[in-house]
Structure 1
Amino acid sequence: MNRILKTTAIAAAVMSVATVAQAREQVRIVGSSTVYPFASYVAEEFGATTEYPTPVIESTGTGGGMRLFCNGVGDDTPDITNASRNMKPAEFERCTENGVTDITEAFIGYDGIVFAQSATNEAMNLTREQLFLALAAKVPVDGELVDNPYTQWSDIDPSLPEREIAVYGPPTTSGTRDAFEELVMEAVSEDMPAYGGEAYTNIRSDGAFIDAGENDNLIVQRLAENTDAFGIFGYSFLEENRDTLIGSSIDGVPPTPEAIGSGEYPVSRSLFFYIKNQHADDVPAMYAYAKMFMSEKMIGDMGYLKPLGLIPAPQEVREEARQEVHNHEPIELADLK
């Protein structure tokens, strides 16, 4: 009887290992909603042209993806996380505490954060200061910080239209939100005496800013329904919806691929994905997927991802990033500060 039980247990264990091995042929990816369209394209191509199954990708937002990625090493954690900003030092430290100690950063190109509206309106030229005054929870009035009193754009500047301030934007877990706060909210508030030289990033919560979740396509849909509203999302979603949306110029610079790639557009950012090297042995498809993503046919000047809205980096920058991924170079805490 004991021999039968032992044999049964061994068989069950073998079946369990086989099931895990089979499951881990499929790469699991989480993270940024901005990187999601690019990663999804690569995943479909990967599934169609290699021996491996199509990777599973969840759009969790950059912050949400980092939390899942840094939970530890093992079958119940993702292999890759997409990010529309660099990993934060605190996230790296949490990864380390949970045993995720070998991570490679993959830089794929550039993106701009656009402030878009329905194409039924005339294009607007906004400054970052006007955006800040429209969305900050507290703003200076007569030298004092008060709850934001502005309800229409014309309240901020008479040259702006008499339209209600209604902005659909990303949640706090989003890398787009992080980048917007840094490139707009921090940049403006640090130069305003009322904030004492400190960065102020609190977004108003009185209904003028509407948290639209991690799915940027929902923002696009809502702008079609509410033509007075604006939306904040990555350039790729503007590129995909040129027939229905128009982007605003920021500080006099329109959101074009050239302006974003050169850094002239003031709300530009870099895009990444992060690889958990400790999963390489158990997930052989992981490096193959990463190699395809970093290839010229994907992120190059004539790559498949460019028409989707990815702004390619200069060739020498692409090659350096590609080599870091091919060599599985680990990032260190000092690299993120």
Structure 2
Amino acid sequence: MRMISKFSLAAVSALALGACSEAAVEPVHVVGSSTVFPFAKVVAENAALNNEGMTGPLIESNGSGGGIKQFCAGVGNDTPDVVNASRRMKASEFATCMENGVTDVVEIQVGLDGIAFASAQGGITMNLTPEIVYRALAKAPFGGEQTAETWADVDPSLPAEPILVYGPPSTSGTRDALKELVLEAGCKTNPEMQALKESDEDRYDQICTEVRGDGKFVDQGENDNLIVQKIGGNDKAIGVFGFSYLEENADKVQGLPMNGSDPTYDNIASFAYPGARPLYMYVKKQHVGQIPALDLYLAEWAKSWDKDGPLAKIGLVASPDDVRAENVKKTTEFMTLTADDLK
């Protein structure tokens, strides 16, 4: 039996309408990213409604890192078929998959998202840059002591308000993207850090990506909606989460610009916004054919991620046309990932 997940479509599938298809003995089991979860949920709902007799997919939100660990643990009915990720699978994770017999992994880019910085509607506003965010949140900015208590301490042009940022945990792909796309980008503005990367990469990673632990950055777990609630109740606080949550809660929160670009659909699609990132799902090819509904679930994704599709309406930014076309092929031809692809 499949494990119970945080979202089950059993009730939906019981009412499923549409074209007849082969019923699944086992439901598709999906784990992973909280950012991709709302999109996967909609795809699962539509797949069940559009395929009569299909057992509704089970969707679980436990973070990119936790989901990939679960996905790579092995093959069989007691393991997930798909993992969602808001960052690319790491080479070390792929190696673990191989060691555990998960030898055929299909990587599918489902769309784009942005690492949005936001505050409550009518709350604190400022024009951020990767360097400002790094100086405010790094444990040891540029290798020195972290002394900034207010945003004005970081940059005199900013409000003299206490630094308070609610963000994702270390297991989250959003946290990984925050490190890579924002913190590391800010750290690299110092030429000495560039030189350090060449001489001592471990020290460089520590200085450039480790966040302060004195209460100025508050880990809110894998629930991005909780971050929305936190900043909604404190007009001096800032939250960090996926763009889709900004779109979904536009009546409660406002996006903060980065390098003068607002976190909008168009700015993420063009990568003008510095926090733009691709979103992925990884499929266990060894389960294709063993879980009959898996093909149907992937086909529903391919119908849903266009610019005018149902996922765009809830905040997914469509990948460029050529990227979408390549990934549509992957949903039917199942080209597998290699270690070289991740270098």
- Tell me if TM exceeds 0.5: yes
Please give the per-residue CA displacement for 1:170-212, whole angstroms capped at 9, x wherever unaligned: 1111111101100112122233245443342111001000000
1:105-136 deviations in Å (ceiling 9; x for gaps): 11111111101110122532111100001100
User: Mapping of 1:65-214 within 5 angstroms?
Assistant: 65-121=67-123, 123-140=125-142, 145-195=143-193, 196-198=195-197, 199=204, 200-214=208-222
Match of 1:42? Answer: 43
Q: SS of 2:209's equivalent?
A: coil
Q: Does 1:292 align with 2:300?
A: yes
Uncovered stretches (5+) of structure 2, i.e. residues with no partner: 1-22, 198-203
Q: Is the 8 A contact 1:153 1:165 kept in 2?
A: yes
- The code of the aligned residue for 1:117 comes to S
- Residue in structure 2 matched with residue 13 of structure 1 by the alignment: none
Query: CA-to-partner distance for each residue in 1:3-25, whole Å, 9 max, x for gaps?
Result: xxxxxxxxxxxxxxxxxxx9852
Q: Distance in 1 between matches of 2:145 and 2:216?
A: 12
Q: Which amino acid aligns with 2:75?
A: V
The equivalent of 1:18 in structure 2 is none
Separation in 2 of the partners of 1:287 and 1:204?
44
> C-alpha separation between the residues in 2 aligned to 1:303 and 1:222?
31
Q: Does 1:319 align with 2:325?
A: yes
Measure the CA separation in 2 of the matches of 1:314 and 1:67. 29
CA distance in 2 between counterparts of 1:317 and 1:211 reads 33
From 259, 262, 281, give the equivalent of 1:254.
262
**Which stretches in structure 1 are left out of the alignment for 5+ residues?**
1-21
* Greater Cα offset, 220-229 or 62-71: 220-229
Residues in 2 aligned to 1:153 and 1:313: alpha-carbon distance in whole angstroms: 35
Match of 2:277 among 262, 266, 269: 269
Aligned partner of 1:224 in structure 2 is: 232
Mapped partners of 2:133, 2:105: distance in 1: 36
Partner of 2:242: 234
CA distance in 2, matches of 1:314, 1:139: 36
By how many angstroms is 1:44 displaced?
A: 1.1
Q: Corresponding residue for 1:58?
A: 60
What TM-score do you get using the length of structure 2 for normalisation? 0.87
2:24·2:293 contact (CA, 8 Å) conserved in 1? Answer: no
Change (3 A) 1:193 1:301: closer
Query: Which residue of structure 1 lines up, in the alignment, with residue 338 of structure 2?
Result: 332
Q: RMSD of aligned C-alpha atoms?
A: 1.4
Q: Secondary structure at the match of 1:249?
A: coil
Matched length: 310
Are the equivalent residues in 1 in contact too, given 2:33–2:86 (CA < 8 A)? yes
Give the distance between the partners of 1:185 and 1:157, measured in 2 at CA: 16
Query: Sequence identity of aligned pairs in percent?
Result: 46
Runs of 4+ in 1 over 3 A off after TM superposition: 193-197
**Separation in structure 1 between the aligned mates of residue 25 and residue 279 of structure 2, nearest angstrom:** 26
Larger Rg: 1
Distance in 1, matches of 2:225 and 2:238, equals 13
The offset of 1:316, in angstroms, is 2.5
Aligned-pair CA distance for 1:53 = 2.0
CA distance in 2, matches of 1:109, 1:149: 39
